[in-house]
Amino acid sequence: MIDEFRDPILVVVAHPDDIEAHCAGTVARLVERGQTVTYVLVTSGNRGTHDPAVSAAAIATRREAEQRAAARVVGVERVRFLRYDDSDLLFHQARLREDLTALIRAERPRTIITHDPYPGNGSRDACAIYPDHTTLGLMTFQAAYLCGPGPLFYPEQMRQGLAPHRVEMLYLIMSDRPDVFIDVAPVWERRMAALRQHRSQGRDRPELEGFFRGIAGDLGERAGCQLAEGFRRLAPT
Ligand SMILES: [Zn+2]
């Protein structure tokens, strides 16, 4: 299964900690295999605080540092931040699709890991109706399979030297219909260490170990291993 993730691989998510909560074990295994993985954070989670004394800029700076630290734990060296405002992606779909198309044409990934665009069933690993996740999944799907390969989409990008590019496969996190399972037991400690970097979001609380182990155990049961992460594979049509 893991050898189907062909590199270069982009992981495109809405918020710092989305990767660590859902797929950092898979990333750790891909990096171990020598594959090139780049993280793309569309927001820096700049509204992720309950403290009225903290500014959006301050929380974004802190969360970007946490995300870079989490990437280092699993061996990912490149982290890009697009710095959209947290929770506003639904209102910026046109610009987001254009930016993602330019990103795909520049990075030329064969595989993208991103959010499932369909609201899940609210189960523990599935995205409930949270517009940042579903919007980003939908815009990434369009940029990867529709706009990226089409020369009539954003032709000014072509004039800037960005040639059309088609992504080969999307793997969707936070899906209630996962059909690809990756055994993450061998890298579990590293996966949890990456998650714990997100201290501003309380992700270093010890009780979270059991919560995430429960999710990975349920997915592992479906996969025939101890601990797994789940993805829905979405091929181009
Ligand atoms: Zn998120």
Cα distances from 128 to residues 94, 120, 185, in angstroms, run 23, 5, 26
CA 207 / ligand 1 centre spacing (Å): 20
Q: What is the pLDDT of residue 48?
A: 87
Distance 236 CA to ligand 1 centre (A): 25
DSSP for 101-118, please give it.
HHHHHHH--SEEEEE-SS
Domains of the chain, CATH where assigned: 2-234 (3.40.50.10320)
Ligand 1 centre to CA of 140 (Å) is 15
User: At 98, is the secondary structure helix, strand, or coil?
Assistant: helix
Location of structure tokens 């000014």: 156
d(CA 100, CA 13): 11
* Residue that wins the pLDDT comparison between 86 and 126: 86
User: What pLDDT does 130 receive?
Assistant: 80
Identify whether the C-beta of residue 115 lies closer than 8 Å to the C-beta of residue 137: yes
Cα 137 to ligand 1 centroid, rounded to whole Å: 11
Distance (Å, rounded) from C-alpha 143 to C-alpha 106? Answer: 12
Work out whether strand 180-183 and strand 111-115 pair parallel, antiparallel, or are unpaired: unpaired
Q: What percent of the chain has pLDDT over 90?
A: 90
User: Token pair of 118, please?
Assistant: 């369909």
Q: How far is the CA of 19 from the centre of ligand 1 (A)?
A: 9
Q: How far is the CA of 63 from the centre of ligand 1 (A)?
A: 13
The CA 168 to ligand 1 mean position distance, Å, reads 24
- Rounded distance from Cα 71 to ligand 1 centre (Å): 16
pLDDT over 90 (residue 196): yes
Q: How far does the centroid of ligand 1 lie from the alpha carbon of residue 17, in Å? A: 7
User: 235: which 2 tokens?
Assistant: 């091929």
pTM, entire model:
0.96
Residue 175 has pLDDT above 70, yes or no: yes
Q: Worst-scoring range by mean pLDDT, 44-58, 153-167, 181-195?
A: 44-58
pLDDT on residue 120: 75
Whole-number Å distance, alpha carbon 33 to ligand 1 midpoint, is 27
Separation of 178 CA from ligand 1 center, angstroms? 18
What is d(CA 96, CA 93) in angstroms, rounded to the nearest whole number? 5
The pLDDT, as a whole number, for residue 121 is: 74
- Per-residue pLDDT tens over the stretch 4-60: 999 999 999 999 999 999 999 999 999 999 999 999 999 999 998 888 999 999 999
What is the separation of C-alpha 194 from the centre of its chain, rounded to a whole number of angstroms? 14
